[in-house]
Amino acid sequence: MKLDETITLLRQGKHVSEETVFVLCLRAQELLMNEANVTHVDTPVTICGDIHGQLHDLLTLFDKSGGVEHNKYIFLGDFVDRGFYSLESFLLLLCYKLRYPDRITMIRGNHETRQITKVYGFYDEIMRKYGNSNVWRYCCEVFDYLSLGAIINGRVFCVHGGLSPDVTTINQIRAIDRKQEVPHEGAMCDLLWSDPDEVNTWSLSPRGAGFLFGKNEVEQFLHTNDFELIARAHQLVMEGYKEMFDGGLVTVWSAPNYCYRCGNVAAVLRIEDTLDRNYMIFEAVPAQDDVGNAIIPTKKPQMDYFL
Amino acid sequence: MDRAVQQTDYDAFSCKISAINKKYLPCQKELEFCEMKGFSELHMAYVHRLKSLNKRAFGKVQRAVQSGLPLMNYGTYLRTVAIDVECKSFLQNAASNSKVQVLNLGCGSDLRMIYFLEQYPHLRWIDLDFAESVSLKAKILRTEEQLKKVVGELRDASETEYVSDRYFLKSCNLNNIEKVLELLTEITDPEVPTLIITECVLCYMDLPKSQALIHKLISLYKSGTWISYDPIGGDDVNDKFGSIMQTNLRESRQLELPTLMVFNSTKKYAQRFEEVSKSTEIETMWQYYVRQVTQEEKNRLKSLQFLDEIEELQLIFSHYVLLKSSW
């Protein structure tokens, strides 16, 4: 498999053979297998939130933030589902990771599971594009090897969802056997599903899984582990990012005009060597280019308005 | 344009079937308060007939059931239950031995007449929609015994409509207000308390025509209640939901929403009724979800499918409203 050729194809949203996907996923698995549950990354690095198959916006993200040729990135998960190009977005990131292993860190999101992708579009996308589910299975195998978190310069903790009542220290995350489908409860589930909120203590999440956690839990966690920031994604933020709890936690959202209908902007967060935070805001690509050709297909496979 | 609007019936119906399939519907409120017995069975019987009569519409139902996103199921649940409950409340408040009538404008494949006709012997129900929707629905009602039994034996031999003693399924373009008035004058009684339902109907009409419909009907009937469910564009300067919705629907299916950005807030949407009505209440479907759905019911809904995005739910549901206006 020629990596650069595949990257060119993927960037254009073109079809990649089943065989190529198989090899790509296998090589990615070998690479990910050796990563710890929580990986260490040095500054400067750009933190990216949910992508959700919005390939064209992912390309904008790389363009506007300097590109993988010269910069390091941490992706906080939710590469797939909802958008039209889940496969291309996920594979492009895998290709970049294989091509520049130390510049891309990929953390697992709550959508990187068999169960959720069957409901939220990735599975259907593969059936539409390949007529069988093989490619979906290859990708799900990779999902199981994605790491659960990252730590930047020992000071910034990156995770998809948030905290867990079962996790006080990073060592407890290191002890998880992550190579499995995301369980419905427990530490691994919470890291991928929980949300910060104005609550006094651990509370039930309005989602089907995870917990709500508040300022107390965040401060406790930061103090115990000597961190200054939790960077997470998982929740749509209309302004692209949102800091909470006196700057102890930030939500970064990187899918502009989410689901092609929400009208939000997106953001990425660059952590400098000084640990200064620089947010870069970007908007969605237009549905058509300037000569009227569709960039994003408008014949949507699913209905998304109440009519 | 009429065709693009007519086709939205299959979306609404498909969503309802998906919500039934995933057990969002019926809810306890529908079963107990609205007394909608055999809810799933009747809807499935209708789908079964649809399969043999309109393959394209059936295909759409099948696809909806397969994809069935939680957000769509939640929203379908909310609109269906909200309108059912309002409908039941209206009928319950009407004296049990006196006449009452319901006009479901742009009824499409909606089946709520079945339950209420069965419960209220003095109720007359009028379903109006485009000829294509009406003729399909009439065909299904004629051939499906379970449904036919409730709506009553056909009174005339019309192939394309369905008229029994208490049920009138008639084709009519709501944009033609003279025709609407002519037809309603013929089959309804202005003195009888009247419930008018427009569920995603006014949003597809031009401003003067939708306002004419509201004004003329409210002045035609001596007393009544209007229940309307529609999207609103949003009035915040940074809120792009409405303009994106207009673009998406125009580009994907040539569907226009002429007043989405005109009546873009609950306040402005209510104003279109307030000029002619006595009392008007309105809330967004998000407010409805937060205030009217009990914690127990929220927990039940949560257990049906994994919901991935509360923020998205709030954003979308804040752009749909339920209005109740009485005169």
B304 touches chain A (CB under 8 A): no
B199 assigned binding-site residue: yes
Q: Show pLDDT as tens, one digit a residue, over chain B (327 residues).
A: 799 999 999 999 999 999 999 999 999 999 999 999 899 999 999 999 999 999 988 998 888 888 788 999 999 999 999 999 999 999 999 877 789 999 999 999 999 999 999 999 999 999 999 999 999 999 999 998 888 888 888 887 788 999 999 999 999 999 999 999 999 999 999 999 999 999 999 999 999 999 999 999 999 999 999 999 999 999 999 999 999 999 999 988 899 999 999 999 999 999 999 989 999 999 999 999 999 999 999 999 988 988 888 899 999 999 999 999 999
**Region of residue A243 (left: phi > 0; alpha: psi -120 to 50; beta: else):** beta
Which of B69, B231, B306 shows the shortest C-beta gap to A302?
B69
Interface of B with A in 208-267 (CB under 8 A): 231, 238-241, 243-245, 247-249, 251-252, 255
d(CA B94, CA A225): 66
Known catalytic membership, residue A234: no
A119 touches chain B (CB under 8 A): yes
Q: ipTM surpassing 0.85, yes or no? A: yes
pLDDT of residue A35: 96
pLDDT of residue A188: 98
Query: Which residue of chain A has the CA closest to B237?
Result: A263
Domain-embedded: residue A300: no
Write the DSSP symbol of residue A12: T
Domain-embedded: residue A270: yes
The whole-angstrom distance between A5's CA and the closest CA on chain B is: 33
Interface of B with A in 55-74 (CB under 8 A): 63-64, 66-72
* Cα–Cα separations (whole angstroms), residue B125 to A43, A129, B25, B26, B172: 69, 47, 23, 22, 15
B195-222 pLDDT, tens digit each = 999 999 999 999 999 999 999 999 999 9
Residue B156, SS3?
A: coil
Cβ separation B67–A237 shorter than 8 A: no
> Which stretches of chain A score pLDDT less than 70?
288-303
Which of A287, A303, A305 shows the shortest C-beta gap to B245?
A305
Cβ separation B302–A236 shorter than 8 A: no
pLDDT of residue B156: 76
Query: Which residue of chain A has the CA closest to B305?
Result: A208
Nearest to B140 by CA among B151, B129, B130: B151
- End-to-end alpha carbon distance in chain B: 32
Domain-embedded: residue A4: no
Give the burial class of A30: count Cβ atoms within 10 A of its Cβ; 0-12 exposed, 13-18 middle, 19 or more buried. Answer: exposed
Range of the domain at A255: 28-282
B252 CB neighbours in chain A (<8 A) are 298-300
A306 CB neighbours in chain B (<8 A) are 12, 15, 72, 75-76, 79, 200, 231, 320
Residue B287, SS3?
A: helix
Cβ separation A302–B249 shorter than 8 A: no
pLDDT of residue A218: 98
CB under 8 Å to B309, separation ≥6 — which residues? A235, A236, B71
Beta bridge partners of B231: B320
A121 CB neighbours in chain B (<8 A) are 67
B79 assigned binding-site residue: yes
Examine residue B26 and say whether the peptide bond preceding it is cis (omega within 30 degrees of 0): yes
Domain-embedded: residue A167: yes
Write the DSSP symbol of residue A202: -
Nearest to A38 by CA among A175, A203, A182: A175
CATH (domain of B310): 3.40.50.150
Domain-embedded: residue A169: yes
Tally of residues, chain B: 327
A194-248 pLDDT, tens digit each = 999 999 999 988 887 999 999 999 999 999 999 999 999 999 999 999 999 999 9
d(CA B148, CA B143): 7
d(CA B139, CA A173): 61
B310 touches chain A (CB under 8 A): yes
Per-residue b/e over B112-149, b at no fewer than 16 CB within 10 Å? Answer: bbbbbbbebeebbbbbbbbebbbbbbbbbbbebeebbe
A2 touches chain B (CB under 8 A): no
d(CA B138, CA A48): 54
pLDDT of residue B63: 85
**Angle of the A55-64 helix axis to the A86-99 helix axis, nearest 10:** 40
Which of B15, B240, B251 shows the shortest C-beta gap to A287?
B251
- Please count the structural domains in chain A: 1
The whole-angstrom distance between B20's CA and the closest CA on chain A is: 16
Residue with tokens 């084709």: B171
d(CA B246, CA B240): 10
Nearest to A264 by CA among A286, A244, A279, A283: A283
H or E stretch at A151: strand A149-152
pLDDT of residue B92: 93
CB under 8 Å to A116, separation ≥6 — which residues? A81, A110, B306, B308
Q: Give all strands (DSSP E) within A175-286, no chain letters.
A: 195-196, 203-204, 211-213, 229-232, 241-244, 249-252, 266-271, 277-282
d(CA A35, CA A145): 8
User: Between chain A and chain B, how many beta carbons pairs sit less than 8 Å apart?
Assistant: 103
pLDDT of residue A300: 56
CB A145 within 8 A of CB A36: no
CB A259 within 8 A of CB B69: no
B199 CB neighbours in chain A (<8 A) are none
B174 assigned binding-site residue: yes
- Please count the structural domains in chain B: 1
The whole-angstrom distance between A298's CA and the closest CA on chain B is: 5
Domain-embedded: residue A6: no
CATH (domain of A32): 3.60.21.10
d(CA A129, CA A10): 14
pLDDT of residue A304: 86
Domain-embedded: residue A13: no
pLDDT of residue A291: 66
pLDDT of residue B309: 85
Query: Which residue of chain A has the CA closest to B303?
Result: A208
Domain-embedded: residue A18: no
Range of the domain at B171: 2-326
